[in-house]
């Protein structure tokens, strides 16, 4: 939940939503979540340390998705997290015993890292309550699917895009919809056979809208082809759907347009971002970036191999970033972020393209 920071002394606001409660007291912001408080102090340091971590098991990807900086931006400094870097992160987590959630994903395909299952087991062993992963679903064999279930992974999200199988393959260059769908279904069947409740299986569907759809502010819905194809498994899959956004570090080519809905503008409240208060992201090489949107390391705040988590969390760069958001003087990475300002990418002639794909032509 986002809520503005107030500077007025002796000011008290309490607002509750689900498991979140936000309190502004004496000019300091207190965010309660899972019975824990986060306090933003006057110097923009935050206590306690983050309870949600993201680990980039791999920044390498075998696909070239058209809206993703990983697939479209050439970068020679990609790699897979080694166990030395991972071990350093684990040691830091154990030292303060405060992490509830670990997400094994940032910009690449996590399951290209041969140590991914060892990482999941180690995170479980140190008491992480919820472990999640994202995947494009193209790299699995039967053994790996069984290991997903046996490893203790709580949740896995498969990315399948577009309004038809053909459009998925066009957006997610290098993927085959029917092969990925076959993998998801096989994982569900294996869960049944192994009598396992985990992992929870999600399908995330990203759609490239036409301008008319964006301007009408029509709510994005699950495509019919997914509902039909997974009808047999409808109670065992959770669908999530989104429109394409502009990621920091992604430059739209001439064939794409950046557009916001009529109600676009600053998201209210616009001077608070929970990403820089409640979670931290470790890239494959140990670099720390502020949030899941910074796939291309636009703003590195430190490196866990040379600094402690406590020192990084409240260092000058982190506090400067938090202050810039609070004051509305956004850094370039934040200025067009979805947390601050809604915007979507749509493609010229997209309506014609979508109609052709849906018809299968």
Question: For residue range 47-106, what is the model confidence (pLDDT) as tens digits?
Answer: 999 999 999 999 999 999 887 877 666 665 789 999 999 999 999 999 888 899 999 999
Q: C-alpha angle with apex 342: 71 to 239, nearest 5 degrees?
A: 65
| Cis, bond preceding 50 (omega within 30 deg of 0) | no
Q: Of 283, 290, 278, give the one whose Cα is nearest residue 304.
A: 283
Provide the pLDDT for residue 272: 77
Q: What is the per-residue pLDDT across 5-32, written as a single tens digit (0 to 9) for each?
A: 322 221 222 222 233 434 444 444 444 4
Are the CB atoms for 286 and 300 separated by under 8 Å? no
Q: What is the per-residue pLDDT across 147-158, written as a single tens digit (0 to 9) for each?
A: 999 999 999 999
pTM assigned to the model:
0.84
Q: Is 205 helix (H, G, I), strand (E, B) or coil?
A: strand
Computed over every residue of the chain, the mean pLDDT equals 82
Rounded distance, CA 273 to CA 52, Å? Answer: 14
């Amino acid at each position: 939940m986002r809520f503005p920071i107030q500077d007025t002394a002796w000011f008290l606001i309490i607002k509750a939503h689900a498991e979140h409660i936000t309190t502004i007291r004496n000019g300091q912001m207190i965010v309660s979540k899972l019975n824990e408080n986060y306090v933003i102090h006057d110097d923009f340091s935050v206590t306690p340390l983050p309870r949600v971590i993201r680990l980039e098991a791999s920044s390498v990807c075998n696909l070239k998705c058209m809206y993703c900086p990983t697939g479209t931006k050439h970068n020679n400094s990609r790699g897979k997290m080694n166990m030395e870097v991972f071990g350093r992160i684990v040691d830091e987590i154990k030292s303060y015993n405060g992490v509830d959630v670990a997400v094994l994903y940032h910009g690449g395909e996590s399951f290209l890292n041969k140590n991914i299952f060892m990482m999941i087991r180690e995170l479980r062993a140190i008491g992480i309550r919820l472990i999640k992963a994202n995947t494009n679903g193209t790299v699995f064999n039967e053994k790996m699917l069984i290991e997903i279930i046996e490893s203790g992974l709580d949740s896995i999200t498969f990315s399948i895009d577009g309004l038809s199988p053909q459009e998925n393959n066009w957006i997610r260059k290098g993927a085959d919809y029917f092969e990925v769908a076959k993998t998801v279904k096989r994982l569900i069947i294996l869960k049944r056979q192994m009598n396992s409740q985990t992992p929870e299986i999600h399908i995330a569907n990203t759609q490239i809208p036409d301008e008319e759809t964006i301007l009408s502010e029509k709510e994005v819905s699950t495509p019919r082809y997914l509902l039909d194809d997974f009808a047999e498994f409808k109670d065992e899959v959770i669908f999530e759907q989104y429109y394409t956004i502009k990621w920091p570090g992604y430059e739209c080519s001439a064939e794409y347009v950046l557009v916001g809905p009529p109600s676009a503008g600053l998201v209210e409240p616009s001077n608070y971002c929970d990403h820089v208060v409640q979670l931290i992201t470790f890239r494959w090489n140990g670099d720390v970036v502020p949030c899941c949107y910074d796939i291309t390391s636009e703003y590195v705040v430190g490196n866990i191999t040379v600094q402690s988590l406590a020192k990084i969390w409240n260092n000058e760069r982190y506090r400067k970033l938090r202050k810039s958001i609070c004051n509305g003087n956004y850094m370039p990475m934040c200025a067009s972020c979805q947390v601050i300002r809604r915007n979507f990418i749509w493609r010229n002639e997209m309506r014609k393209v979508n109609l052709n794909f849906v018809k299968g032509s």
